[in-house]
Amino acid sequence: MSKVLDTNQREQAGSDSYNRFEYQVHWIVYHIIENFKNEKMCTVFCEYHDDMAEYDKDKNYSFFQIKTKEKNNNWTISEMSKKAKNKKSFLGFIFYNFLTFGSECKSCFFISNIDFDSDVKKWQACIEDKKNIKEEDNELYNKIKFRIKDEYKNDKIDNFDNVFDKFIQNTFVSKSNLQLDTYESQTKGEFFDNITKNISMITAQAIYNQLVEDVRKKSKEKVYPPISFRKLIDKKGIDISRIKNQIDSKIIKQNDIGGFYFFLIDKGISNEDVNRILDEKNQHDLKWQNMSMLKYQQIILALKEVIDNNFERGIDQVYESCVKKLNDNKYEYKIQIDNLRKLVEVLYYEYEYSKR
């Protein structure tokens, strides 16, 4: 059986504050978005053996530590390898992954909102260029090795040198793009800018909110190995290909003009009125998907809320409620009354079509 699935998780204190936990959640979401953009269809596990684990198409795992700190002093090797009471250091835990999971552990990552000092950057420059750090900078190699060896001096590790060499050549550090005070807006902006240009804002918002909530929930979910891979995905995993399929299905449904046409015809609406509704829908779709028309989109969200709450009363009553809603709220962006009826028809029938 896989060592990753069979091994009990080391004790993890987790994020020590709500803000740090939320930063971690949003970094995972941000990472999922990056993988989606790059068409990397992998599975992400939240708080599994580390802050995050990633399982790729080659059946290898990568593990991620996501750390924040308030002080803007660069991370050093000494700080990253400093042990807390009865706990391994950050680098010590990364070494543990290579030691415990062997060939299943492809690489490890240390991510932070704060940058790194020159020694750490030398280490990274070397391995990013696929050079052997032991040959390129033996002094730095031994400096890191001494600290890890000292941390594990009470453990009998027969293959320490081999594990350490894999550790030092496959451990990557990176300063995150997410700032500690703006990570929520940055993550949301990245999602809307890159993932959901071809679907409505309200649908995009729903998908984004669900993704963030899934990461929160699965970060807190407890599992007890040994565990099947299928159950692990259910409890802790986010499958990026499933998100892609969800978004693709929304695009197909939203652009299903043919299906919408026959839906209107089946309702007994005349061809003339169907064509009028479809013309209005085309104009609406252009405005709805134009990110610069925020005031228009705010009105549409208000009208959709009215339709959702009053649909069973019929289209005439819904229209009257929409007129009242706009008059009561004094929106800056005005829709002419003759066009409002047409727009409400489009939104009303779209709502009914979506509920089939």
Identify the pLDDT of residue 123: 98
User: Model confidence over 13-24: pLDDT tens digits?
Assistant: 554 577 899 999
In the structure, what pLDDT confidence band is assigned to residue 312 with cuts at 50, 70 and 90? very high
pLDDT tier at 11 (50, 70, 90 boundaries)?
Answer: low
Residues 333-355 have a mean pLDDT of: 81
Per-residue pLDDT, averaged over 41-66, amounts to 96
pLDDT at 305 over 70: yes
**242 vs 108, more confident:** 108
Would you state the pLDDT for residue 328? 74
Where does the pLDDT of residue 64 fall: very low under 50, low under 70, confident under 90, or very high at 90 and above?
A: very high
pLDDT at 179 (0 to 100): 95
- Considering only CA atoms, which of 74, 82, 76 is closest in space to residue 114? 74
| β-bridge pairing 61-67 and 105-112 | parallel
CA-nearest of 318, 312, 324 to 345 is 318
* Residue 294 clears pLDDT 90, i.e. is over it: no
- Mean pLDDT of the 189-202 span: 75
Q: Where are the domains of the chain?
A: 3-248, 256-354
Closest CA to 204 of 119, 116, 297: 297
Please report the pLDDT score of residue 182 as a whole number: 95
**Confidence check: pLDDT of 300 > 70:** yes
Sign (positive or negative) of CA dihedral 86, 92, 93, 95: negative
Which residue in 140, 36, 48, 56 sits closest to 97, CA to CA?
A: 48
Query: Alpha-carbon distance 28 to 128, whole Å?
Result: 23
- At residue 184, the pLDDT reads 95
pLDDT tens-digit series, residues 147-158? 999 999 999 999
For the ranges 36-45, 225-234, 274-283, the lowest mean pLDDT is seen at 274-283
The larger pLDDT score, comparing residue 132 to residue 204, is at: 132
On whether the CB atoms of residues 54 and 43 are closer than 8 A, the answer is: yes
Separation between Cα atoms, residue 157 and residue 142, nearest integer Å = 18
Kindly report, residue by residue over 105-122, the tens digit of the pLDDT: 999 999 999 999 999 999
**What number is the average pLDDT over the span 59-84?**
94
Q: What is the pLDDT of residue 165?
A: 98
Percentage of the chain lying above the pLDDT 90 cut: 63
Average pLDDT taken over every residue of the chain: 89
**pLDDT tens-digit profile of 206-216?**
789 889 999 99
CA distance 36 to 240: 7
